[in-house]
Amino acid sequence: TRRVTVRDLAAAKQRGDRWPMLTAYDALTAGVFDEAGIPVILVGDSAGNTHLGYENTVPVTMDEMAMMAGAVVRGTRRALVVADLPFGAYQASARQAFDNAVRLVKEAGVGAVKLEGGERVLPQVRLLVEAGIAVMGHLGLTPQSVHTLGGLRVQARDEAAAARLLRDAHALQEAGAFSVVLEAVPAELAAKVTAELSVPTIGIGAGPDCDAQVLVWPDMAGLTPGRTPKFVKKYADLRDVLGRAARAFADDVVAGSFPAAEHTYR
């Protein structure tokens, strides 16, 4: 078996084939998604919220990303593994982006990296691609900018912001990005970007016309506590299933009914 490549994704766009992407943060879960045939797995800095207990993605470090990305690569055989460059790991300069992307490629073994932003990260994208590192862009709602965005909400709703996003998408493609995530933007705008770009768009809260769709796995599996955004579809109720299992185990232990004879060495 060989891994999915950025060429496979370019070919899928040519054929008009849609594909799914899921996040994963550990070898165990990534292995499940790999076996399920998910072609692209994103080690997202959404791990800050989902797995590391931070309020947002801002505190996530390179050490944390490298550890999770390495685990996801080791837990998969077929998927293209893409890892986020976390906040503070690429904004300062192309050189900084290069050094940190190299870490994810060499140390963790990922096939591509993702970074947030348009215009302002073009030198970073150009240098990485020239150096042979595949880059995924990310426009619209860019959670690493939560403090300047003033909260996490739908982006590019007015004409000027929509035009800027469309320009940014073209600029990322020209700089060599192999795909672009569109997060929380109106469906009409995402459809226009998707029609104009020759590289695939990956939507999350960006309507049905993107080339691909991504969800954060604990959201789509129903493991995330509390409310999830409007764009999430829950495909399972893992929080309930796992909670029931934990309570059943606890009850058995308290009652003395676990371990039973079949779990016991004689």
Q: Tell me the C-alpha distance between 131 and 213, whole Å.
A: 28
Determine, following the binding rule CB under 6 A, whether residue 216 of this chain makes contact with ligand KIV.
yes
Based on the shown chain and the rule CB under 6 A, indicate whether residue 219 belongs to the binding site for ligand KIV: no
Peptide bond into 259 cis (omega under 30): yes
Q: Which residue, 4 or 85, has its beta carbon nearer to ligand KIV?
A: 85
Residue 211 binding target from ligand KIV, Na ion, none, CB below 5 to 8 Å by type:
none
Out of 34, 45, 183, 211, name the contact with Na ion by CB under 5 A.
45
Q: Find the catalytic residue in 107, 183, 196, 262.
A: 183
Q: Tokens for 107?
A: 């140390």
39-47, 104-112, 224-232, 254-262 -> range binding ligand KIV (CB under 6 A): 39-47
User: CB-wise, 63 or 130, nearer to ligand KIV?
Assistant: 63
Helix residue ranges per DSSP H, 159-237? 159-175, 187-196, 217-220
Asked if 48 is part of the footprint of Na ion (rule: CB under 5 A), the reply reads: no
What's the maximum distance between 2 C-alpha atoms anywhere in the chain? 74
Nearest to 22 by CA among 12, 13, 31: 31
Whole-angstrom distance between the N-terminal and C-terminal Cα of the chain?
43
Where would I find the beta strands (DSSP E) of 62-168?
80-84, 112-114, 135-140
Minimum CB distance to Na ion, residue 122 (Å):
19
Kindly tell me which residue out of 6, 13, 39, 44 binds Na ion, with binding defined by CB under 5 A: 44
Q: Which does 176 bind (CB under 5 to 8 A by kind): Na ion, ligand KIV, none?
A: none
Task: Decide: helix, strand or coil at residue 158.
Answer: coil
* Annotated binding-site ranges for 3-methyl-2-oxobutanoate: 45-46, 84, 114
Q: Which two tokens stand for residue 79?
A: 């998927």
Strands 40-43, 212-215: pairing is unpaired
- Scanning the structure block, which residue is given the tokens 């995924």? 136
| 45 near ligand KIV, rule: CB under 6 A | yes
**Active site includes 183?**
yes
Q: Among residues 45 and 211, whose Cβ is nearest to Na ion?
A: 45
Least Å from the CB of residue 57 to ligand KIV: 6
Does residue number 84 form part of the binding site for Na ion (CB under 5 A)?
yes
